[in-house]
Amino acid sequence: MCAIAGIFNYGSAPTDDQAIACRMRDTMTHRGPDDSGLYQSTDRRVVLAHRRLSIVDLSPAGHQPMTNEDGTIWITFNGEIYNHLEQRALLVARGHIFKSRTDTEVIVHAYEEFGVGCVSRLDGMFAFALWDARRRELLIARDRLGKKPLYYTIAGGRLMFASEIKAILQHPGVARDVDPIALDSFLTFSNTPAPLTMFKNVFKIPAAHLMRCPSDGRVRIERYWSPLDGDAWPAGSGAASVERVRDLIERSVAKRLMSDVPIGAFLSGGLDSSTNVALMS
């Protein structure tokens, strides 16, 4: 797990937000103890921050925020892209040059090649923010099932985002008011459904959604995937269904073993954890 945070000052006078972004970032040191980074655009409109937990490519080449060759695209990324090797091969075949072995850099080049459509090509758990200096647009995306957290607020002509709400609350322009509707949902259903959080005007990006914020501040949130988009379960015998479920679980576990560091498991002894550990071994 890593931590991301940032500020897009699209609507007010440019200010140096590096100190605030560092405070936001460093409230989440527990998510990324291995490294930290910061990027601020030359016009001081955009600041991206990152705390790194090194999983893939442990070298300094994995430092974030990460950019493309000409510095026009910057990304801060949390998560793992399970199909990054397949995507990398495709991108190399199309002429892209990589400087690291990270899955982060795959997103950068995939965006160069496919634009916003790159998000639907990613198989993994992720939350990231990508700044496109040419288009003057910030792209923020969350994985299909919302495994990686991602929160945002808009106040005073600024869009602020982070992996945790307490990071956003470090900004002096963000109020700490309770949202009574979210509180009612929590007391009724034991959760706050997206996009609500317990803080008024602080929201979570729903799973399988992306946010686009251009320089005019006209934020758009779009769904890029639905579980209903897949093929229908084929008719067949119970035995065939059992074999298909086993194959899906085996492939699901296998692709999550991608790592340059040792992998462990929490084994409670129940059916799900026992199945995972048996397949891992």
User: pLDDT band at 263, cuts 50/70/90?
Assistant: confident
Average pLDDT on 231-259 reads 86
Positions marked active-site: 2
Residue 267 has pLDDT above 80, yes or no: yes
pLDDT tens digit sequence for 120-161: 999 999 999 999 999 999 999 999 999 999 999 999 999 999
User: pLDDT band at 33, cuts 50/70/90?
Assistant: very high
User: pLDDT band at 258, cuts 50/70/90?
Assistant: confident
pLDDT tens digit sequence for 161-206: 999 999 999 999 999 999 999 999 999 999 999 999 999 999 999 9
Percent of the chain whose pLDDT exceeds 70: 100
Average pLDDT on 260-266 reads 87
Please tell me the predicted confidence (pLDDT) of residue 79: 95
Listing DSSP states for the chain in one string gives --EEEEEEE-SS-----HHHHHHHHHTTGGG-BSEEEEEE-TTSSEEEEEEE---S--SGGG-SSEE-TTSSEEEEEEEEETTHHHHHHHHHHTT---SSS-HHHHHHHHHHHHGGGGGGG--EEEEEEEEETTTTEEEEEE-TT--S--EEEEETTEEEEESSHHHHTTSTT----B-HHHHHHHHHHSS--TT--SBTTEEEPPTTEEEEEETT---EEEE---GGGSPPPPP--HHHHHHHHHHHHHHHHHHTT--SS-------SSHHHHHHHHHH-
> What is the residue-averaged pLDDT of the chain?
94
Q: Say what the alpha-carbon torsion angle 234, 240, 242, 248 is, to the nearest 10 degrees.
A: -60
Please tell me the predicted confidence (pLDDT) of residue 98: 95
Q: Which of 19-23, 53-57, 91-95, 216-220 has the weakest average pLDDT?
A: 53-57
Higher pLDDT among residues 91 and 242, named by residue: 91
pLDDT tens digit sequence for 71-127: 999 999 999 999 999 999 999 999 999 999 999 999 999 999 999 999 999 999 999
pTM for this one? 0.92
Please tell me the predicted confidence (pLDDT) of residue 13: 85
